[in-house]
Amino acid sequence: MAHRCPHCNMPLTSDEANSPNCPVCGHDLQANQRLAGGASGTVPESFKTHPSDGFVFCPRCELATDSLKVCEVLNIIFLLFRVFWNTEKVVACPSCMRKTLWRRTLGAIPLANLCYPIVAFTHLIALVDISSPGHTDAAIAEAHRIRYRGSSLRPGKPRGKETVVLVIILVLCAVVWGGGYLYLKTRPERSFDGKTLSEWIATLEDPAPRQRIDAAEMLGRIGPDASTAIVPLKRVAGSDVDTTVRWAAYRALHEIDPHSVGGIAIPPFQGFKK
């Protein structure tokens, strides 16, 4: 019986017909035999009885599947006061779809930021949906069907591109976050009249009333940047034994944040003590 390539229809000798590829067009001559024989891990059992109907293949791992899933994956990038988002249609077998959704869920942690719960919730729903048997969309499954006769198939192979991108994103985010943390920890504190903000706050506990007054006045001049001094100033304004110190603390609070002086009882100002 004459042998011909199912792809280019060129006649083949017996030796050429038993070779892995067509010497003319390079077609995989062993693909049909692999499908008909049900190569391990390539063709599901449900396909072996009707090979002429063709095989639905996952576009990611390129393995035959009897359950091709379609998911609308939500992508969000959160940049301070601007949010970018879109939906991406992902077509894959259940195994590849689960891997894709988990990678996208992890990758969304730095990208979606405050919007991450929304992304995680949609991915969780998709993970539940793909557990059902059968194809999600028959038309899309038919578009991924490769017929037995004259088909040219490549062996299944894992897709590592998304994993590499995910690792790169997480490493970059770790570098940025780690660098920002180290910068905030190591940068020198601003100085005001020879003292840092924390030193002026500590001076509020000085035994000398004049020193406490000077500290309160300086914190008031610093303004909103001295917001960390609001709690100590409230304590001084409400309980200091010296009325003048309490008044100075009250004015400092008003300069830092006018809303912070609510509920503080201040006695009449009697002038600064010498």
pLDDT digits (tens, 9 = 90+) for 217-236: 888 888 888 888 888 888 88
Query: Is-contact 136 68, C-beta < 8 A?
Result: yes
* H or E stretch at 146: strand 145-146
Backbone φ and ψ of 84, nearest 5°? -110, 135
The position carrying tokens 């400092």 is 252
Q: Which residues contact residue 7 at a Cβ distance below 8 angstroms, ignoring those fewer than 6 apart?
A: 22, 25, 27, 150, 152
pLDDT digits (tens, 9 = 90+) for 152-186: 444 444 456 667 777 887 788 888 888 888 877 77
* pLDDT range class, residue 33, cuts 50, 70, 90: low
Q: Span 232-259, mean pLDDT?
A: 86
Position 251 pLDDT exceeds 50: yes
- Flag whether the pTM goes above 0.95: no
* pLDDT range class, residue 43, cuts 50, 70, 90: very low
Q: Which residues contact residue 156 at a Cβ distance below 8 angstroms, ignoring those fewer than 6 apart?
A: 41, 42, 61, 62, 63
Domain boundaries, the chain: 3-55, 69-158, 191-261
Query: Is-contact 224 255, C-beta < 8 A?
Result: no
CATH no. for 191-261: 1.25.10.10
* H or E stretch at 88: strand 82-92
Backbone φ and ψ of 77, nearest 5°? -120, 120
